[in-house]
Amino acid sequence: MRVNFTVNGRPQEADDVWEGESLLYVLRERMGLPGSKNACEQGECGSCTVRLDGVPVCSCLVAAGQVEGREVVTVEGLADFAKERAEHGGCASGACGTSLDEAKKWQARPGQDSQTGEAGTDPAALSPIQQAFIDAGAVQCGFCTPGLLIAADELLERQSDPSDQDIREALSGNLCRCTGYEKILDAVRLAAARQGEAV
Amino acid sequence: MAQNTRTVPAGTPTNVTQNHTKGGIGESTLRPDGTLKVTGEFAYSSDMWHEDMLWGQTLRSTVAHAEIVSIDISEAVAMSGVYAVLTYDDLPAEVKNYGLEIQDTPVLAHGKVRHHGEPVALIAADHPETARRAAAKIRIEYKELPVVTDEASALAPDAPLIHEGRDDHHSGHVPHPNIVHRQPIIRGNVAAARERADVIVEGEYVFGMQDQAFLGPESGLAVPAEDGGVDLYVATQWLHSDLKQIAPVLGLPEEKVRMTLSGVGGAFGGREDISMQIHACLLALRTGKPVKIVYNRFESFFGHVHRHPAKLHYEHGATKDGKLTHLKARIVLDGGAYASASPAVVGNASSLGAGPYVVDDVEIEAVALYTNNPPCGAMRGFGAVQACFAYEAQMDKLAAKLGMDPVEFRQINAMEQGTLMPTGQVVDSPAPVAELLRRVKARPLPPERQWETAGEGADVRALPGGLSNTTHGEGVVRGVGYAVGIKNVGFSEGFDDYSTARVVLQVINGEAVAMVHTAMAEVGQGGVTVHAQIARTELGVTQVTIHPADTQVGSAGSTSASRQTYMTGGAVKNTCEAVREKVLEIGRRKNGSYHPAWATAELLLEGGKVVTDGGEVLANLADILEGEEPIDLELEFRHRATVPFDLVTGQGDGHVQYTFAAHRAVVEVDTELGLVKVIELATAQDVGKALNMLSVVGQIQGGTTQGLGVAVMEEIIVDPKTAKVRNPSFTDYLIPTILDTPTIPVDVLELADPNAPYGLRGLGEAPTLSSTPAVLAAIRNATGLELNKTPVRPEALTGTL
């Protein structure tokens, strides 16, 4: 079957999709967007979390056909999504997404210069929660990171100053095996604090 | 089924580890791969993609012990979209087994299967679902055999032999062919020492089978090459060890198997053994197409070895003033169907079996069994974890019997620099065991009854059971427990443990730039960060590029045994020092006549310049290197030599370095439902020298959490009658979530080891040792129950077992 949907603001068309394929498979193997991770593929670990019409879901549990005509935001589009939100006010429903015009400007960032090691990526291009994860040391192997970022970003969208219990509750569907979670808590606190300063 | 319609390939390993952050050793430099990891661009092994690639699938045995009567692949082969189906008969070389130390593991089962989930056949197809359906069409007829599942069934007079006709280097000295390896440690005179004891305590402890449960599944991509060889992109802990096992079964010389590390989603020991590497290469070579294999979580539980479950019997004595008199211990580790790392785990469990305590009279025996249970091997803490669980419970029992404070009792017996290990080896660097305990004890306790809120009753989120709303605080009791552990660093017992680093220094666009090339597996621990920090420190440059890890450079050894910063970090340091000498040679040649300091002073490289130890600038590094060939050196680094333990007495300087961590656990237990909430897990650890404190603390917290997991929830459950695994999923094998994990305050000591690079101490494993017994001690303290088994399940706390 053919599935038409929007990914990170860009209209996408996937052809010859088998009826049993998950959104996760289509994103990773057909769209070339491997940022959503395949750690358990049964909705237990949260590594594949994406926003579907603004709602965080495990993309491994969503049949590809279910996303027909809908909007998906993955970790690859998180920075643009957060930027759009910052520029056009908060999005309490979580369903705002990135506008089509804005998203059409999206392109893969150039790779880093392998000679000098300098990043081709402008750090300012990261969303606040992405930057906070780096700064707080919340990334080790990083496999859980994309899913945690989507979940944490959604938490901060609806709750600008979450308590530790709020953070724990919001991220309880995302397993991390490396960090012991302390630095993930630090990262969310840091992003919230920076968000607060910016207001 | 549909072909891939994708046109954009995923990232290749070449863009995984570029370095764009700054900072030398001692600074909390940020990860160079952090940006790629938070944007989803970092290429993990399961993200590898190649145009026209096929998907590989493994068919695994549904029974634990059986003769294979027949395999019928005809239906599978005939399916549309299936490119190859391989069984044992298709293996191309004389060598058909592999293994880390003993080559007893079949690439594909031949003749019989020895454990549930053993690989029997391989399929390559155009879509993963085609491959799965084809696997389901393969008909295998098994004739089941009796299963060996524990010590009694393994050593019974008529026990089936798991490996008949063994002729490995351990088979000659083990008392039974179903024992992989046995190591006694005998020192002093236990019988005489027992006479001096005022109290004697005994205990039988059971440590459950833990899984590494790294999040990134076993996966990789094998690409056949025109020269008849194969390029393999894979997540592993040791490229060169894989290579040595892969090439012979493919029938290829090692230079025709080119391996590149792809992004690794955690390891914790679970990637020391081969999983899908050989299978993907076989399918690629057979079909002539790139083949990607990605395990799902279910298969991942069968695809790697686990932590050895153990039964430990301990007897300790002490005098009434609190001095240990003797220790007698027997440690039985279940190694499962294949040897993997069992011999080395036995060496660790026995030699570290007395813990970080002074005890002169010791008899320890550790054995690992062959059974039909899942194979067990390396996992963080490696044999020391199981022993620590037992000896720490014993310390609490002794303290209680003597009416002493458990921390004070431990401090009385704590080893220090100069103490003799039960192996006779002198602990010749700082061993701050008493101080680590003092630090966790001195920390203020978290407030009691934190769940109580002003006026609103209980915040159930802070209680055992959390939002399940199972209690509002009635029936909740608190306990505090302590533990401390000792772990060795690096490969022991005479192993030729070395690491290689290549460093290139050259001028690019007018600036001196270093490139560090090693085969070190970055599994999340942050080696890529510290290697660049070391190069910046030693060479005085700002720009450092980390070359992707591959087999085009010498071996870096394994990313395990807490050894990688010590070993490959040491190799990078030494190679940089040699590069510096070359720089100074060129400098002397070019500029030596202009300033006498070139010949007379101690010269350093700092801030892109050559400076004297007095701080005088002699030249720009870039000017010296300009017009020269790049300086390109590759050197090996070895730690000091060790020797094998004597097979009868266990004596010998078997270990390189020791590392220590202590924990204090504070728990709350709902005694009605048997639910445990760990409130805090305070940690203190000596790291010798923290090259990157941010990473150090992250490692300690992560290791602590894995120990917490095994204390209260983690266990692979194997049916004792059939040896089948009951819970191979994240639904049924539980690892701690952020709700299960407490705050983990970390106190880091830096007492330099004079024998180690920068004085550092390997640190990754030690925090996993003591957090489990600390949590157990706290639960015992809260409930008054004996609790000798991990994990503590609700029925053990409610008397409904």
What is the DSSP code string of B9-24? PPPPGGGS--------
* Strand B230-234 to B257-261 pairing: parallel
Within the 501-520 window of chain B, which residues sit less than 8 Å (CB to CB) from chain A? 508-509, 511, 513
pLDDT above 60 (res A16): yes
What radius of gyration, in Å, describes the C-alpha atoms of chain A?
16
Q: What is the ipTM of this complex?
A: 0.96
pLDDT above 60 (res A101): no
List Cα–Cα distances, B273 to A79, A151, B394, B765, in angstroms. Answer: 38, 34, 33, 18
Across all residues in chain B, what is the average pLDDT? 96
Best mutation site among B35, B692, B699, B739 for testing chain A: the one with the most A CBs within 10 Å? B35
Instruction: Look at residue B473 in the predicted model and tell me its pLDDT.
Output: 93
- What are the helix (H) ranges across B682-801? 693-712, 766-783, 794-798
pLDDT above 90 (res A22): yes
What distance in Å separates residue B523's CA from the closest CA in chain A?
A: 6
Gap between the Cα atoms of B6 and A7, Å rounded? 14
Question: Rounded mean pLDDT of B125-148?
Answer: 98
Maximum alpha-carbon separation in chain A: 48
Instruction: Look at residue B372 in the predicted model and tell me its pLDDT.
Output: 98
Of B605, B580, B502, residue with least CA distance to B546:
B502
A148 close to A176: Cβ distance less than 8 angstroms: yes
pLDDT above 50 (res B102): yes
Give B776's pLDDT tier (boundaries 50, 70, 90). Answer: very high
Within the 92-111 window of chain A, which residues sit less than 8 Å (CB to CB) from chain B? 108-109, 111
Contacts of A176 in chain B (CB under 8 A): 215, 738
pLDDT above 90 (res B456): no
Contacts of B525 in chain A (CB under 8 A): 140
B11 to chain A, any CB pair closer than 8 A? The answer is yes
Counts of helices then strands in chain B (DSSP H, E): 19, 32
Q: Find the residue in A nearest to B462 (Cα).
A: A165
Question: Rounded mean pLDDT of B278-294?
Answer: 98
Gap between the Cα atoms of A137 and A45, Å rounded? 21
B81 to chain A, any CB pair closer than 8 A? The answer is no
Best mutation site among A21, A58, A139, A190 for testing chain B: the one with the most B CBs within 10 Å? A139
Q: Find the residue in A nearest to B705 (Cα).
A: A180
Contacts of B39 in chain A (CB under 8 A): 35, 75-76, 78-79, 109, 121, 126, 130
Per-residue pLDDT tens over the stretch B500-512: 999 999 999 999 9
Gap between the Cα atoms of B309 and B261, Å rounded? 30
Question: Rounded mean pLDDT of A98-107?
Answer: 43
pLDDT above 70 (res A60): yes
What the block records as the tokens of B445 is 């306790």
B83 close to B54: Cβ distance less than 8 angstroms: yes
Nearest to B215 among A111, A112, A143 (CB): A143
Q: Do B40 and A30 touch (CB under 8 A)?
A: no
B214 to chain A, any CB pair closer than 8 A? The answer is yes
* Strand B219-224 to A10-14 pairing: unpaired
Within the 358-417 window of chain B, which residues sit less than 8 Å (CB to CB) from chain A? none
Q: What percent of chain B has pLDDT over 90?
A: 95
Gap between the Cα atoms of B454 and B460, Å rounded? 13
Gap between the Cα atoms of A34 and A29, Å rounded? 7
Across all residues in chain A, what is the average pLDDT? 86
B725 close to B302: Cβ distance less than 8 angstroms: yes
Nearest to B31 among A41, A45, A139 (CB): A139
Least confident among A190-199, B11-20, B214-223, B556-565: B11-20
Question: Rounded mean pLDDT of B637-657?
Answer: 98
Instruction: Look at residue B525 in the predicted model and tell me its pLDDT.
Output: 97
Question: Rounded mean pLDDT of B647-654?
Answer: 98
Q: Do A143 and B545 touch (CB under 8 A)?
A: no
B296 to chain A, any CB pair closer than 8 A? The answer is yes
Residue A138 CB partners (closer than 8 Å, separation 6+): A132, A145, A148, A179, A183, A184, A186, A187
Q: Do B525 and A140 touch (CB under 8 A)?
A: yes
Of B328, B351, B329, B331, residue with least CA distance to B645:
B351
B226 close to B285: Cβ distance less than 8 angstroms: no
Burial class (CB in 10 A: 0-12, 13-18, 19+), B509: exposed
Question: Rounded mean pLDDT of B162-184?
Answer: 97
Contacts of B128 in chain A (CB under 8 A): 25
Nearest to A17 among B2, B9, B297 (CB): B2
B32 close to B19: Cβ distance less than 8 angstroms: yes
What the block records as the tokens of B312 is 């430990």
Q: Which residue do the tokens 């001028």 mark? A: B507
B29 to chain A, any CB pair closer than 8 A? The answer is no
Nearest to B38 among A31, A141, A149 (CB): A149
B675-686 sheet: strands from edge to edge: B476-489, B657-670, B675-686, B746-749
- What are the helix (H) ranges across B604-692? 621-625
Question: Rounded mean pLDDT of B240-265?
Answer: 98
Within the 25-64 window of chain A, which residues sit less than 8 Å (CB to CB) from chain B? 25, 28-42, 44-45, 47
Q: Do A180 and B698 touch (CB under 8 A)?
A: yes
What is the identity of the amino acid at B453? T
Gap between the Cα atoms of B125 and B81, Å rounded? 5
A122 to chain B, any CB pair closer than 8 A? The answer is no
Question: Rounded mean pLDDT of B132-140?
Answer: 98
What distance in Å separates residue B64's CA from the closest CA in chain A?
A: 24
Gap between the Cα atoms of B713 and B209, Å rounded? 11
CA atoms within 13 A on the CB side of B160: 16
Instruction: Look at residue A199 in the predicted model and tell me its pLDDT.
Output: 61
Contacts of B14 in chain A (CB under 8 A): 114
Q: Which residue do the tokens 């079996």 mark? A: B353
Q: Find the residue in A nearest to B681 (Cα).
A: A180
B284 close to B225: Cβ distance less than 8 angstroms: no
Gap between the Cα atoms of B256 and A77, Å rounded? 40
pLDDT above 90 (res A57): yes
Gap between the Cα atoms of B174 and B322, Å rounded? 37
Gap between the Cα atoms of B717 and B719, Å rounded? 6
Three-state SS across A131-151?
Answer: HHHHHCCCCCCCCCHHHHHHH
A114 to chain B, any CB pair closer than 8 A? The answer is yes
Per-residue pLDDT tens over the stretch B352-410: 999 999 999 999 999 999 999 999 999 999 999 999 999 999 999 999 999 999 999 99
Instruction: Look at residue B21 in the predicted model and tell me its pLDDT.
Output: 57
Q: Do B213 and A133 touch (CB under 8 A)?
A: no
What distance in Å separates residue B535's CA from the closest CA in chain A?
A: 13
Gap between the Cα atoms of B364 and B732, Å rounded? 35
Contacts of A74 in chain B (CB under 8 A): 40
Q: What percent of chain A has pLDDT over 70?
A: 81
Burial B739-749, CB ≥16 within 10 A → b, else e: bbbbbbbbbbb
Angular region, B31: left φ>0, alpha ψ -120 to 50, beta rest: beta
A180 to chain B, any CB pair closer than 8 A? The answer is yes
A168 to chain B, any CB pair closer than 8 A? The answer is yes
Question: Rounded mean pLDDT of B61-70?
Answer: 98
Q: Find the residue in A nearest to B8 (Cα).
A: A32
